[in-house]
């Protein structure tokens, strides 16, 4: 038994496994990261992102998309082996005498990749059956595609190295010039530390016929000859490693072409190939200082980025960045929100309210006052988008197609605004005579189409390497990055026109032809917010009333278009306003706005995840007009999560938890804190409206907590089906009935 354990310990696969864990955690981390992301909880629906288990290419999931993923994983497998071969082949001199040294190295270095693939295959099968309702025949073809793509990479690599790599026997049979190379080997510019005789003991290895064979001694060969063999292999390995880098760079040039939009399951491993190759270079050329060199590289790169040498920060498309910069300070805010300006803006909006009233008063019943409708939507990725569209389509059907005529203002945050932006445009097209059926469920599916694959590919092939592709919009030039790609593919998915600005909606909104949409976004500099509308909205900037001026109340909002008037704020693209309201960290870039100092913005949901604050400020400002001219206010709130939840039981605290909980609690309970404050304001506003405020709540809920669709830019077929089913849950059925009664009054 002891002999068997000893033989196993000194086998080539185990020695390679121990070497990976002992020396190169940076490289091993690539497999661990991919394992954690792609496999998660074995495809149960929450732990594993669908983009790895349900890869989409050209709008379809099938043999071809899985084959592309197989190619990416094959490239990762080869790169992993090439880097380790470059770093450690000198430790195993017996390989130099083998017919295919690199092939034997890859074959014996199977334990970590095989563990990954077994888990990955199981995850795919479970996910496809449970979430995509695949039958076994189609699923078999998908798995065959994955295997075919992986095998293709192995085949091409094997053919290439069979012609370029040589062993000691082949070299000795060659011409005498090879021996000159042996004598000149120390003149080659490589790390001399790699030539020292640090051999690992290996007694057995696995052959290409899957037989176990004893290693044979190579002491009769000149050690320098081994070095020559491995050096030749290294050059070929470096060349092969560059291919993955070239693929990513080239795809960046054609990133808008759907043909080059390969699944994340392929682009992710390709990016890891680049990182592995980069780390391999550091470790190879710096020897024992490899880890320190990698850390130093990150520190230097981090230091250089603060100078923004290429000025590659993301921009808000449509804004002019070469027409000066407004000063971002309290003095400027006070000028924009003086009492006289606020009063002027109030009178401006009363005209819009009067236009809305004329449209909604029934000529046959001129004394019957209409109800003023507001729509507030929450964030939550594309799941929020499809839920918002589906809910509002049902509401519009109940209102006999008049919901958007009755709606004065729609606002919210993040993914919910994907749906609002799209529906408002469809409603405008319908008003302009286009054959639009507002209840067509295909519109909901359009909002839920994949956005994550193009964003991820942009990150990996362009943004991570500093954006250098540009595009022109009118007289302005911007970088193409994941923000640009998000907007372009949102437009492609929904048929939206990319060049449409917020100013293009001004007249239609002013004449109450369509509902107003006000976007808001969080200013990272000081947690104020920009309110984005083509109309003057200074009354949203601060509390306004008879006694507010003397109370030194702070200004926590900024009228975006007024502040950036000289920078053509009204020319901001609608898709950019929507993106700024949905700038979830890391997924989308934080736009830099042309102010002094530069202001950076992020997801509006950080301060107000439902847009209720905007609605409250509006109701408070125009409460007198509302009380006089309407029969009440209906606030429709659509959330992608349940609002009232039972308190969660606290588990026994560990030492680590005691240190992290104070910060973690604030983050995880952010939505709760917003709701508590907003509910208090809801009560105050209801008092000011004399009890005529009606609140209708729609929530996306599931029977089981873990069955909920992921908050992502990509959701599965099961997720889409489950979201639509949630419309028929008891809480939402009651909300539909309540709204129907309110709109009839």
The residue ranges of every structural domain in the chain are 2-305, 330-642+670-744
pTM above 0.85, yes or no: no
- Lowest average pLDDT, out of 54-68, 126-140, 290-304, goes to 290-304
Report the DSSP beta bridge partners of residue 536.
none
Chain position carrying tokens 């293709």: 152
Closest CA to 382 of 315, 434, 449: 449
- In this prediction, residues 573-593 reach a mean pLDDT of 90
Long-range contacts of 669-678 (CB under 8 A, 24+ apart): 670/606, 670/609, 671/609, 671/641, 674/607, 674/608, 674/609, 674/610, 675/643, 678/608, 678/610, 678/612, 678/613, 678/616
Q: Do residues 283 and 84 touch, judged by C-beta distance below 8 A? A: no
Judging by DSSP bridges, how do beta strands 371-377 and 632-639 pair with one another? parallel
- In this prediction, residues 340-350 reach a mean pLDDT of 95
Check pLDDT > 80 for residue 10: no
Question: pLDDT-based confidence at 86, cuts 50/70/90?
Answer: confident
Most confident of 285-299, 548-562, 565-579, 657-671: 565-579
Structure tokens at 564: 């950036």
CA distance 193 to 649: 56
Check pLDDT > 90 for residue 437: yes
- Bigger pLDDT: 624 vs 662: 624
Question: pLDDT-based confidence at 574, cuts 50/70/90?
Answer: very high
What are the DSSP E strand ranges found in 458-511? Answer: 470-473, 476-479
Question: pLDDT-based confidence at 546, cuts 50/70/90?
Answer: low
Structure tokens at 63: 């043999």
Give the DSSP H or E segment for 51.
Answer: helix 50-53
- Bigger pLDDT: 446 vs 109: 446
Chain position carrying tokens 């017996």: 94
- In this prediction, residues 118-128 reach a mean pLDDT of 85
Side-chain half-sphere exposure of 279, counting CA atoms within 13 A: 24
Sign of CA dihedral 639, 644, 646, 648: positive
Check pLDDT > 70 for residue 39: no
Closest CA to 502 of 462, 532, 539, 544: 532
* Terminal C-alpha separation, the chain: 86
Check pLDDT > 80 for residue 277: no
Closest CA to 128 of 137, 118, 139: 139
- In this prediction, residues 488-508 reach a mean pLDDT of 94
pLDDT at residue 291, rounded to an integer: 65
CA distance 495 to 423: 12
What are the DSSP E strand ranges found in 342-453? Answer: 371-377, 407-412
Most confident of 182-186, 194-198, 701-705: 701-705
Question: pLDDT-based confidence at 406, cuts 50/70/90?
Answer: very high
pLDDT at residue 169, rounded to an integer: 47
Give the DSSP H or E segment for 386.
Answer: helix 381-398
Structure tokens at 57: 């290419």
Closest CA to 105 of 120, 119, 86: 86
Give the DSSP H or E segment for 697.
Answer: strand 693-699
Check pLDDT > 70 for residue 646: no
Q: Do residues 521 and 611 touch, judged by C-beta distance below 8 A? A: no
Q: Do residues 506 and 535 touch, judged by C-beta distance below 8 A? A: yes
- In this prediction, residues 511-518 reach a mean pLDDT of 96
Q: Do residues 549 and 337 touch, judged by C-beta distance below 8 A? A: no
CA distance 145 to 147: 5
Question: pLDDT-based confidence at 488, cuts 50/70/90?
Answer: very high
Which whole-number Å values give the CA distances from 692 to 243, 359, 573, 626, in the listed order? 67, 21, 36, 10
Q: How many CB atoms lie within 10 A of CB 392?
A: 27
Closest CA to 332 of 596, 598, 607, 617: 596
- Main-chain dihedrals φ then ψ at residue 188, nearest 5 degrees: -70, 140
- Bigger pLDDT: 393 vs 171: 393
- Bigger pLDDT: 171 vs 476: 476
Q: Which runs of consecutive H residues, i.e. helices, occur in 254-338?
A: 264-286, 290-305, 330-336
Closest CA to 95 of 240, 225, 236, 239: 225
Check pLDDT > 70 for residue 349: yes
Sign of CA dihedral 590, 595, 599, 605: negative
Question: pLDDT-based confidence at 46, cuts 50/70/90?
Answer: very low
Helix, strand, or coil here: 678? helix
Rg from Cα positions in the chain: 31
Greatest CA separation found in the chain? 108
Check pLDDT > 50 for residue 117: yes
Check pLDDT > 90 for residue 225: no
Per-residue DSSP letters for 443-473?
Answer: HHHHHTS--HHHHHHHHHHTGGG----EEEE
CA distance 600 to 312: 14
- Main-chain dihedrals φ then ψ at residue 573, nearest 5 degrees: -65, 145
Most confident of 41-45, 79-83, 364-368, 500-504: 500-504
Mean predicted lDDT score pLDDT of the chain: 80
Check pLDDT > 50 for residue 611: yes
pLDDT at residue 290, rounded to an integer: 62
Q: Do residues 460 and 245 touch, judged by C-beta distance below 8 A? A: no
Check pLDDT > 60 for residue 254: yes
Listed in sequence order, the residues at least 6 apart from 681 whose beta carbon sits closer than 8 Å to its beta carbon are 612, 613, 616
pLDDT at residue 597, rounded to an integer: 93
Q: Which CATH number fits domain 330-642+670-744: 3.30.70, 3.90.550, 3.40.1090, 3.40.50?
A: 3.40.1090
- Lowest average pLDDT, out of 87-91, 207-211, 549-553, goes to 549-553
Check pLDDT > 60 for residue 179: no
CA distance 639 to 637: 6
Question: pLDDT-based confidence at 124, cuts 50/70/90?
Answer: confident
- Lowest average pLDDT, out of 64-68, 263-267, 292-296, goes to 292-296
CA distance 26 to 35: 15
Question: pLDDT-based confidence at 644, cuts 50/70/90?
Answer: low
CA distance 155 to 633: 68
Q: Cα angle at 482 between 481 and 488, to 5 degrees? A: 95
Check pLDDT > 60 for residue 448: yes
Check pLDDT > 60 for residue 336: yes
CA distance 100 to 13: 16
- Bigger pLDDT: 439 vs 714: 439
Check pLDDT > 90 for residue 211: no
């Amino acid at each position: 038994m002891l002999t068997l354990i000893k033989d196993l310990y000194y086998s080539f696969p185990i020695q390679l496994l121990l070497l990976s864990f002992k020396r190169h955690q940076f490289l091993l981390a690539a497999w661990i990261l991919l394992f954690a992301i792609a496999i998660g909880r074995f495809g149960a629906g929450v732990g594993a992102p669908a983009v790895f288990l349900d890869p989409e290419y050209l709008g379809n999931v099938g043999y071809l998309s899985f084959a592309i993923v197989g190619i990416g994983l094959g490239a990762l497998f080869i790169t992993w082996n090439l880097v380790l071969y470059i770093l450690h082949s000198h430790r195993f001199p017996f390989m130099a005498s083998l017919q295919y040294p690199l092939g034997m190295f890859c074959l014996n270095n199977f334990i970590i990749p095989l563990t990954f693939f077994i888990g990955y295959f199981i995850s795919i099968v479970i996910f496809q059956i449970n979430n995509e309702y695949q039958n076994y025949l189609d699923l078999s073809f998908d798995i065959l595609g994955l295997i075919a793509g992986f095998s293709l990479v192995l085949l091409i690599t094997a053919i290439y190295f069979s012609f370029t790599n040589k062993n000691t026997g082949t070299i000795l049979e060659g011409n005498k010039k090879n021996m000159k190379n042996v004598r000149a080997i120390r003149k080659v510019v490589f790390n001399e530390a790699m030539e020292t005789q640090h051999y690992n003991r290996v007694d057995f290895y696995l052959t290409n016929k899957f037989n176990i064979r004893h290693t044979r001694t190579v002491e009769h060969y000149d050690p320098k000859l081994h070095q020559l063999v491995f050096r030749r292999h290294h050059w070929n390995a470096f060349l092969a490693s560059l291919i993955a880098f070239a693929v990513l760079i080239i795809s960046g040039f054609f990133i808008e072409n759907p043909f080059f939009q390969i699944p994340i399951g392929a682009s992710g491993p390709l990016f890891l190939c680049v990182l592995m190759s980069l780390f391999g270079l550091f470790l190879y050329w710096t020897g024992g200082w490899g880890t320190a060199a990698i850390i130093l590289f990150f520190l230097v790169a981090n230091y250089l980025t603060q100078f923004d040498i290429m000025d590659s920060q993301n921009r808000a498309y449509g804004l002019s960045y070469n027409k000066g910069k407004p000063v971002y300070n309290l003095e400027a805010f006070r000028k924009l929100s003086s009492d006289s300006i606020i009063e002027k803006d109030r009178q401006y909006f009363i005209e819009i309210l009067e236009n809305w009233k004329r449209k909604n008063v029934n000529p046959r019943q001129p004394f019957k006052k209409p109800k003023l409708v507001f729509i507030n939507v929450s964030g939550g990725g594309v799941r929020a988008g499809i839920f918002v569209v589906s809910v509002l389509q049902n509401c519009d059907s109940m209102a006999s197609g008049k919901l958007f005529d009755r709606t004065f203002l729609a606002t919210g945050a993040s993914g919910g605004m994907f749906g609002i932006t799209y529906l408002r445009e469809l409603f405008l097209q319908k008003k302009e005579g286009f054959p639009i059926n507002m209840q067509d469920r295909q519109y909901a599916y359009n909002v839920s189409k994949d956005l994550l694959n193009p964003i991820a590919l942009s990150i990996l092939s362009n943004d991570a390497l500093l954006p250098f592709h540009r595009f022109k919009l009118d007289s302005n030039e911007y970088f193409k990055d994941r923000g640009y790609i998000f907007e372009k593919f949102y437009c492609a998915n929904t048929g939206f026109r990319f060049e449409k600005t917020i100013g293009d909606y001004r007249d239609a909104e002013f004449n109450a032809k369509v509902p107003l949409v006000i976007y808001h976004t969080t200013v990272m500099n000081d947690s104020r917010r920009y309110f984005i509308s083509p109309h003057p909205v200074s009354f949203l900037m601060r509390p306004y009333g008879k006694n507010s001026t003397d109370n030194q109340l702070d200004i926590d909002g900024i009228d975006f278009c007024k502040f950036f008037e000289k920078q053509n704020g009204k020319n901001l693209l609608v898709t950019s306003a929507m993106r700024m309201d949905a700038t979830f960290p890391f997924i989308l870039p934080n736009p830099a706005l042309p102010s002094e100092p530069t202001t950076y913005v992020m997801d509006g949901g950080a301060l107000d995840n439902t847009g209720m604050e905007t609605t409250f400020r509006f109701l408070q400002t125009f409460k007198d007009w509302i009380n006089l001219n309407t029969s009440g206010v209906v606030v429709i709130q659509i959330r992608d999560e349940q609002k009232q939840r039972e308190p969660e039981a606290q588990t026994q605290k560990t030492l680590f938890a005691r240190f992290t909980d104070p910060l973690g609690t604030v983050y995880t309970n952010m939505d709760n804190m917003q709701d508590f404050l907003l509910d208090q304001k809801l009560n105050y506003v209801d008092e000011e409206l004399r009890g005529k405020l009606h609140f209708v709540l729609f929530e996306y809920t599931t029977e089981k907590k873990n069955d909920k669709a992921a908050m992502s830019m990509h959701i599965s077929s099961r997720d889409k089906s489950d979201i639509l089913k949630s419309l028929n849950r008891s809480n939402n059925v009651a909300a539909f009935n309540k709204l129907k009664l309110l709109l009839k009054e």
